[in-house]
Chain A
Amino acid sequence: MSTYEDTLLAARFAALAPQPLTGEWDEVLDRAGAARTARRQLKRSRGLQGRRRRFLVVLAAVALVVAVGTAAAFGIRAFILDRGFIGLPPQGATPSTPESGELVLNSWGRPTSLGTIRAPNFSGPPFHRAWVYADGRLIWDREGTHPFGGSEQTTGFLEQRLTPEGVELLRTEVISTGLFRHDLALISGSGIDWGGINVRNGDRFVEVIWATSYTLGWRNDRARFRDATSEEASALERLSARLTDPASWLPASAWEDLEIRAYVPSRVAVCAQGYDPSIPPENVPPHPEPSEIFALLPGPAKDLLRAKGRRVADDDFCVYEVTAEDARAIAGALDDAGLERDDPEVWQAYTIDAPEPIRKQGWNQGMVSFLTILPHGEVICSHCG
């Protein structure tokens, strides 16, 4: 092809190029910062390992709260858990269906409407998260003790079912505030109240986050925040309260099944990273490659992971997905090998002594954890904010 033809071809491609949208570097920083913060909080929650907190006998609790239902379409007996659990789903628990789902709305934060919890190193509103899907599922979890909780520290992931009308009512409740035309970061509320709502508006998601002048100090993206007007502040306060307790205001017709049950994932992520609770958050060295940690696992667990794990490409730590059943088998092999469980009140994770090459990277131990995969594919840690 001649230069002339090359130029013509380039021009034809140029004519077919879509018009790019505006780019916001602050938004990139926010995304990166949110994940960094989540990891620091994850580390902090792991740092509690040394404190001997009273531990509910989670498995016993789960065994007591199993309800048996019938899946009418197939005549198969469903094994439903009517309270949360920590770690991997118990043997035989019926997974939530469908396996995947389209996210419509996600909210998170510490709304003051939820009152105050007292933990060894914290006193304030519990951290609450919720995910609403187009298929009607409302999945949520909350920090602290709760009648449907899996432990004293967290509910684990719980599920209720909305009708299509209920999903739309929730979405409309958010959109109708007029705040969700474009992404916003607002200074609002008081004390340690903070949070965010991400909602589908047309063919895109819009995110509004808020913080108080006190909690803003923890954020590295504080320059993008502006003061909320009094109308915006009251709208956020109202929304935040409503999204943490939708049963208090949605009509009965909005619910397909108001009953609270455990969200049981079909698939679980297997994650690996360095572990050392003595390292202060501001001095965390780069983590070893997950493959370096997985290589330390006992033979049977390693073989199972290789045989059953599906490698995923887009996560720094959680590089395998397995079925819940395979995850239980791998965890069983870790238990059999005598690996120590990290804080079993909040999650299912194991620590393993690190050899010299990993110690040289600044880590005395490695950690392998099993994390829930939500219907829209997000890997999530119960109790990690």
Chain B
Amino acid sequence: MGGLESDLEDLYRRRHGAFQVMLASVTGSVESARDVVQEAFAQALRDQNGFRGEGSLEGWVWRIAFRVALGSKGSRELAVDDVPEVAFVDESRDPTLAAAVRELSPQRRMAIFLRYFADLSYAEIGEVLGIAEGTVAATLSQAHKQLGAELSANEVMA
């Protein structure tokens, strides 16, 4: 087994759960997300030359995974600057937070999901979204501020 293949296996074993949780917010169910994760890692194995070592291995696999997830939803055209739409699989468990998250712009929402569901660092979020680490920090800061305001207002009223 080659080095990259071994690294991919290690990444899969450590992180397939996080991939599933995050991608379920794109595909709508954890079952379809599992299928996306399996296919994304299979694609990564098949196309190991596509990883040129310019970023982290995990960032590269995340980008493949989002392409596969969008493909599974029928969105076969994916522009470079597209940000996948994400949503909670079961909003009924925290409708206030779900409503606040829905008010975020797609990029802020995605950054928040990558932070809390995928547990990615700022640098890794930047790789996935194709933006600088500093921009990630600013995006997350704005998203936190907006969420804080939305949640305070709604939860005070409730």
Chain A interfacial positions (CB closer than 8 Å to B): 1, 5-6, 9-10, 12-21, 23-25, 27-29, 31-32, 35-36, 203-204, 286, 310-314, 316, 321, 377
Q: Are B31 and A13 in contact (CB under 8 A)?
A: no
A316 with B117, Cβ < 8 A, contacts A12-B94, A20-B16 known: no
Q: Which residue of A lies closest to B1 (CB)?
A: A29
- Could you list 28 examples of A-B contacts with CB < 8 Å? A13-B116, A14-B116, A16-B89, A16-B90, A16-B93, A16-B97, A17-B117, A18-B20, A18-B89, A20-B17, A20-B18, A20-B30, A20-B34, A23-B38, A25-B12, A25-B13, A28-B45, A29-B42, A32-B45, A32-B46, A35-B42, A35-B46, A203-B31, A311-B77, A312-B76, A314-B70, A316-B43, A377-B74
Number of A-B pairs, beta carbon distance below 8 Å: 106
Say whether B37 faces chain A, with CB atoms less than 8 Å apart: yes
Structural contact, A316 and B46, CB atoms closer than 8 A: yes
> Contacts A5-B148, A313-B67 hold; do A29 and B20 have CB atoms under 8 A apart?
no
A9 touches B116 (CB 8 A): yes
Query: Complex Cα distance A18/B46, Å?
Result: 29
Residue of B nearest to A36 (CB): B46
Chain B window 122-152, contacts with chain A (Cβ cutoff 8 Å), 1 for yes, 0 for no: 0000000000000000000100110110000
Which residues of B have CB within 8 Å of A14? 116
The smallest C-beta distance from B88 to any residue of chain A, in angstroms, reads 5
Q: Is the CB of B77 within 8 A of A310?
A: yes
Instruction: List, in ascending order, chain B residues with CB within 8 A of A314's CB.
Output: 43, 67-68, 70-71, 76
- The list of the 6 closest CB pairs from A to B, nearest first, reads A31-B42, A23-B16, A1-B144, A13-B116, A20-B17, A32-B45
Contacting pair B78 A313 (CB below 8 A): yes
- CA of A6 to CA of B71, assembled, Å: 33
B54 in contact (CB, < 8 A): no
A28/B38 in contact, CB under 8 A: yes
**Chain B nearest CB: distance from A307 CB in Å?**
15
Nearest chain B CB to A211 CB, angstrom units: 19
Complex Cα distance, B44 from A35, in Å, reads 12
- Return chain B residues, CB-CB under 8 Å to A15: 93-94
Residues in B whose Cβ lies below 8 Å from that of A24: 38
Neighbouring A residues of B20 by C-beta, 8 Å: 18, 20-21, 23
Residues of A within 8 A of B76 (CB): 310, 312-314, 321, 377
Q: Nearest chain B CB to A35's CB is how many angstroms away? A: 6
Partner of B21, one of A9, A17, A25, A321: A17
Q: How far is the CB of B113 from chain A (nearest CB, A)?
A: 8
In the assembled complex, the Cα of A179 lies from the Cα of B141 at a distance in Å of: 52
A21 x B34 contact (CB < 8 A): yes
A279 to chain B, nearest CB (A): 16
Q: Which residue of A lies closest to B144 (CB)?
A: A1
> Nearest chain A CB to B70's CB is how many angstroms away?
7
Q: Tell me the complex Cα distance, A17–B41, Å.
A: 22
- Judging by beta carbons under 8 Å apart, are B38 and A27 in contact? yes
**B39 within 8 A of partner (CB):** yes
Chain A residues, CB < 8 A from B67: 313-314
CB distance from B37 to the nearest CB of A (A): 7
> Which residues on the B side are within 8 Å of A23 (C-beta)?
12-13, 16-17, 20, 34, 37-38
- Cβ distance A363 to chain B, nearest Cβ, rounded Å: 14
Q: A27 — which chain B residues lie within 8 A by C-beta?
A: 38
The minimal Cβ–Cβ distance linking A2 to chain B, given in whole angstroms, is 9
Task: Chain B residues near A311: list those with CB within 8 A.
Answer: 77
Q: Which residue of A is nearest B16, CB measured?
A: A23
Q: Which of A21, A27, A311 counts the most B-chain CB atoms under 10 A from its CB?
A: A21
* A79, B44: Cα distance in complex, Å: 42
Contacting A at CB under 8 A, from B53-96, are 67-68, 70-71, 74, 76-78, 88-90, 93-94
Hey, what's the 0/1 contact readout for B96-118 against A, CB within 8 Å counting as 1? 01100000000000000000110
- Looking at the assembled complex, report how far the CB atom of B72 sits from the nearest CB atom of chain A, in whole angstroms: 9
A308 CA to B18 CA in the complex, in Å?
A: 39
Residues of B within 8 A of A32 (CB): 41-43, 45-46
Contacts A13-B97, A321-B76 supplied; 11 other A-B pairs, CB < 8 Å? A1-B144, A16-B89, A18-B20, A18-B24, A20-B16, A20-B17, A23-B16, A25-B9, A28-B12, A31-B42, A32-B43
Report Cα–Cα, A384/B88, bound state, in Å: 41
Residues in A neighbouring B17, C-beta threshold 8 A: 20, 23
Chain B contacts for A321, CB-based, 8 A: 76
Provide the residues of chain A in CB contact with B12, threshold 8 Å: 23, 25, 28
Interfacial chain A residues near B46, Cβ < 8 Å? 32, 35-36, 316
Evaluate whether A9 and B147 lie within 8 angstroms (CB atoms) in the complex, with A25-B12, A312-B76 already known: yes
Q: Name the B residues within 8 Å of A20 (CB-CB).
A: 16-18, 20-21, 30, 34
Q: Is the CB of A16 within 8 A of B9?
A: no
Q: How far is the CB of A28 from chain B (nearest CB, A)?
A: 4
Which residue of B has the minimal Cβ distance to A11? B116
Cβ–Cβ < 8 Å partners of B141 in chain A: 1
